[in-house]
Amino acid sequence: METQDEIIKVQKIVKRYGDFTAVDGSEFSVHNGEVFGLLGPNGAGKTTTLEMLVGLRKPDEGTAIVGGFDITKELDKVKEVIGVQLQSTTLFELLTVDEILHLYGSFYREHISIPELIDDMLLTEKKNSRIKGLSGGQKQRLAIALALVHDPQIIFLDEPTTGLDPQARRTLWDIILRLKERGKTVVLTTHYMDEAHVLCDRIAIMDQGKLIALDTPSELVRNLQSDSAVEFKFNDEVDIALSEIDGVKQVGSQKDIHVLYTDDLQKTLTSLIAIASEKELKLVDLQTRTATLEDVFIHMTGRRLREG
């Protein structure tokens, strides 16, 4: 991997808020032209990491090289090569799509053709509409258009699809994949598993300020060493050794939900049902599925990505 172009190199970056350490010495590299995902639950430090990389927050320790420039020393140069879409940004609501793109374009030395950008982001019909009247998906596409207005090499997207309906999410996925085709490097944060799986070439999993895993999505799942997951609840609280059920490689239990990881789904299921009948326990919400990134996360942290 070292032979690949490292367009971003994060070096032991730390951010503290009082006693709380939001980002605790993360270290990773992003390769030129890939879609890189920062995955983790709320409060894991994804957004803080991203905001340090784009210069909105100053790291307390460590630094990062973004597009060849040090974020602590050459921030002005960094800002020229990056485009940013921030979480839940509001814009000047009384301006039109066309006006705000020209405005943001003027903040840079050069900008690309605004009409083409509007077409690319599927906003042609809304060109002269005020931002106030746009739908959530349209606003998010506009936010991405603003990030692209000066044709940056690296694009940072902070939870680009949070709060969007499924169709709007898919439209955005297409846009992000097209950016990749054009050779852009995309760094995005998300807490959606499916999104990370579809979009990202590599994923860094963060939890409580620490980077706990970094690999391709399929490699991360493969490292679970189990193909399938069985998930269920008992209607009563019981005390049985789930790991002794046939074929179970790992147990991931949290609260009253139990997850068994196995390579032999049939064997495990048969055994589970046998034990349940024997002890007169009632199985609730039983389901089986292929192991996903969600399971990787549960396995690594003992918690779910999106809790309560």
Partner 1 sequence: MRSYYLLTLAQLRIFLRNRQVLFWTLAFPIVLMVMLGSFLGNGNGVSITAAVVDQDKSEQSKNLVKEIEKNEAVSLEKSSNEKDVLSQLKQGDLTLVVTIPKGYGENLSAGNKADPFKLPVYYNETNMAMSQVGLQLVNNAVDTISKKSVNYEPVVVTESKGVEALNLRYIDFLVPGIVAMMIMSNNMNGVAGQISSWRERGILRRMQGTTLKASTFIAAQITARFMLNGLQAMIVLAVAWAAFGIEVRGSWLTVIAFVTLGTLAFMAIGFIIAGIAKTPESAGPIAGFLSFPMLFLGGVFFPIRDMPEFLQPFVQILPIAHLSHALRETMNVGASFLDLGMEALILGGWLIGAFIVASFTFKWE
Q: 258-286 burial, b for 16+ CB within 10 Å, e for fewer?
A: bbbbbebbeebbebbeebbeeeeeeeeee
Strand partners, 69: 66
Question: Closest distance between partner 1 and the C-beta of residue 129, in Å?
Answer: 13
Kindly tell me which of 102 and 222 has the beta carbon lying closer to partner 1. 102
Kindly tell me which of 95 and 198 has the beta carbon lying closer to partner 1. 95
Query: Are 136 and 159 a contacting pair, CB within 8 Å?
Result: no
Kindly tell me which of 100 and 245 has the beta carbon lying closer to partner 1. 100
Residues binding partner 1: what is the number (CB under 8 A)? 26
Kindly tell me which of 102 and 210 has the beta carbon lying closer to partner 1. 102
- Give the binding range for partner 1 (CB under 8 A) out of 51-59, 169-177, 189-197, 292-300: 51-59
Question: Closest distance between partner 1 and the C-beta of residue 20, in Å?
Answer: 18
- Give the binding range for partner 1 (CB under 8 A) out of 11-19, 54-62, 250-258, 272-280: 54-62
Kindly tell me which of 128 and 167 has the beta carbon lying closer to partner 1. 128
Question: Closest distance between partner 1 and the C-beta of residue 73, in Å?
Answer: 16
- Give the binding range for partner 1 (CB under 8 A) out of 3-11, 52-60, 184-192, 299-307: 52-60
C-alpha torsion sign, points 281, 287, 288, 291 = negative
- Spell out the residues 6+ positions from residue 307 whose beta carbon is closer than 8 angstroms to its own: 41
Question: Closest distance between partner 1 and the C-beta of residue 49, in Å?
Answer: 15
The DSSP code sequence of 219-269 is HHHHTTT-SEEEEEEESS-----GGGSTTEEEEEEETTEEEEEES-HHHHH
The encoded tokens of residue 230 equal 């069985």
Strand partners, 13: 26
| Calpha distance 292→140 (Å, rounded) | 27
What residues numbered 81-140 form the site for partner 1, per CB under 8 A?
A: 84, 86, 88-92, 94-95, 99-100, 102-104, 106-109, 130
Residue 95, classified by CB atoms within 10 Å of its CB into exposed (0-12), middle (13-18) or buried (19+), is middle
Question: Closest distance between partner 1 and the C-beta of residue 115, in Å?
Answer: 17
The DSSP code sequence of 30-99 is EETT-EEEEE--TTSSHHHHHHHHTTSS--SEEEEEETTEETTT-HHHHHHHEEEE-TT----TTSBHHH
Kindly tell me which of 90 and 235 has the beta carbon lying closer to partner 1. 90
- Give the binding range for partner 1 (CB under 8 A) out of 61-69, 72-80, 276-284, 289-297: 72-80
What residues numbered 200-219 form the site for partner 1, per CB under 8 A?
A: none
Candidates 55, 209, 247, 252: give the one binding partner 1 (CB under 8 A).
Answer: 55
Q: Which residues bind partner 1 (CB under 8 A)?
A: 54-56, 76, 79-80, 84, 86, 88-92, 94-95, 99-100, 102-104, 106-109, 130, 146
